[in-house]
Amino acid sequence: MRVLCLSHRDVLAALTPQACAEAMAAVLTQRARGETYMPLRSVMAPPDASGFMGLMPGWRGPQGGNAASFALKAVCIMPGNPARGLDAHQGLVTLFDAESGQPTAILDASAITEIRTAAVTAVATGALARRDARTLAILGAGTQARAHLLALAGVLEFERVRVYAPTEAHARALIDQAGHIRAELTVAASAQDALAGADVVVTATSAREPVLRRDWLMPGAHVNAVGASSPQAREIDTATVAASALFCDSRESLRNEAGEFRLAITEGLITDPDHLVGLRYCAGADDEGRNTYNVIDLVLSDDAPLPDVGAARNFYTTSSCGVCGKASIDAVKVRSRFDLHDDPVTVTPIMLSALPSKLREAQQVFDRTGGLHAAALFRPDAEVLASREDVGRHNAVDKVIGWALREKRLPLAGTVLMVSGRASFELVQKAYVAGIPVLAAVSAPSTLAVEFADSVGMTLVGFLRGTSMNVYSGADRVVVGAAL
């Protein structure tokens, strides 16, 4: 058995940005035809580890005289590596013969990721950006920023390239390395300055809160959002997502892994699955055809509904526990399009007392791990409509609301949302924007959660354990003495 092994340097020497872009176009075409198979990636994040590991399997059918093959990308994401002078992505891509299962090649995953991600962006930009685009803005100055600058220079004839990074020296170093590019290269003083008048934008950062805002973009700008690789990471504000035509190669990956899109749903800015346009040819996939790092391509649409500008954010709301990102309760209220006061649904104590056990029965992954939260949506007769698990109950709620969006069930009038753990302000907020009139939790709600639930007409139940419970707001919906 002979196995081809290519180091980081070998991959960079053998795979040019142009050749990789052509290969990615072919793979994305295959995916659109159903000739590839890529399940969602799995992630292992030990609590005391310095990073986390992602496993991304895939299969590709025969193509152009090449036999079918299996592939596995195993990559470690190590946030501390840049300080060591190393790429944050370290790992291997292994190819296997689809008939015998024997390994045929082992490639350096860091180099593959560097070239492939930028190559997919080049394909997307060539298909979606305006032909007369002349100004490119890049937010970030790391490995992906450098790779994107090289890849995009061969797609459009940019006259101006602006780079912004929080550390000016890093942005300056990136420009110094790209002196051969035929464009005016400058370091911007801020992200907003970099985006002013930009036709094409690349966000290649490790940000957990938006580095790009809707009012910084010119009409018709094309945005390649590259850096966010988990539900907790965000580079783009929800106003931009809601006001854009969204292109992706995998709706499944987008719904489960793209924090920007999931938050736009839970905030009520996206209420119809038709707002998402799937164009798998134009977005991110690696050499296995897998959308590994959530490359999201956005084109601003003139006829897309814009969010209410009065609902300003002081800082962003994440999918994790914590204080709400709104300026006030009033700022949250203008976000929702649904009025809970008029929802006539009623529940009984008997029905509510049945929910914790039904929620527990739906936790199949919890049975194997013992460490997951859950959320479930119920009818007033305690029938389960949907249930989801996640390491955080906020994420589980996001998944339930995402299911409702896909099924075109929003608003979720006449339903009950049950969550494990406590009921935070943010959980009440998410239920409110989805039109859920009753929220029940195993543990206590926060004071702010109770105040908000009461102000919007939501029934909030806490300490729901067995036949015992506390009703904190909307008690008129709980009918004592009625049958289930």
Mean pLDDT by 10 residues, the chain (484 residues): 94 94 89 86 88 92 86 92 86 95 95 93 91 94 92 93 95 89 93 96 87 90 82 77 76 71 67 51 44 42 44 36 46 66 94 93 68 89 92 87 88 95 90 94 92 95 93 95 56
Over the stretch 380-431, which tens digit does the pLDDT of each residue have? 999 999 999 887 788 899 999 989 988 889 899 999 999 998 999 889 999 9
Using one digit for the tens of pLDDT, what is the confidence trace for 42-59?
A: 889 898 899 889 999 999
Q: What residue ranges of the chain are covered by domains with CATH 3.40.50.720? A: 117-300
- Residue 370: per-residue pLDDT: 59
Give the amino acid at 70.
F
pTM: 0.60
Protein fold of 329-477: Cytidine Deaminase; domain 2 (3.40.140)
pLDDT at 66: 83
| Cβ atoms of residues 27 and 60 within 8 Å | yes
Q: Which residue ranges does the chain devote to CATH 3.30.1780.10?
A: 4-111
d(CA 199, CA 328): 35
Which 8-state DSSP code applies to residue 443?
S
Say how far apart CA 177 and CA 352 lie, in whole Å.
63
The pLDDT value given to residue 482:
57
Whose CA is closest to 283, among 121, 41, 471, 484?
Answer: 121
Residue 330's pLDDT is: 56
Domain 117-300: CATH superfamily is: NAD(P)-binding Rossmann-like Domain (3.40.50.720)
How confident is the model at residue 366, as a pLDDT? 61
- The residue from 5, 248, 321, 324 that is catalytic is 321
Model pLDDT, residue 121 = 93
CATH label, 4-111, candidates 3.40.50.2000, 3.20.190.10, 3.30.1780.10, 3.40.50.300? 3.30.1780.10
Strands 160-164 vs 184-187: parallel, antiparallel or unpaired: parallel
Buried b (16+ CB within 10 A) or exposed e, 339-358: ebeebebbbbbebbbbbbee
Question: Among all chains, which residue has been given the structure tokens 């809707």?
Answer: 214
pLDDT for 69: 94
Q: Please state, in angstroms and rounded to a whole number, the distance separating the CA atoms of residues 149 and 138.
A: 8
Q: Is 5 a catalytic residue?
A: no
In degrees, to the nearest 5, what angle opens at C-alpha 126 toward C-alphas 286 and 159?
120
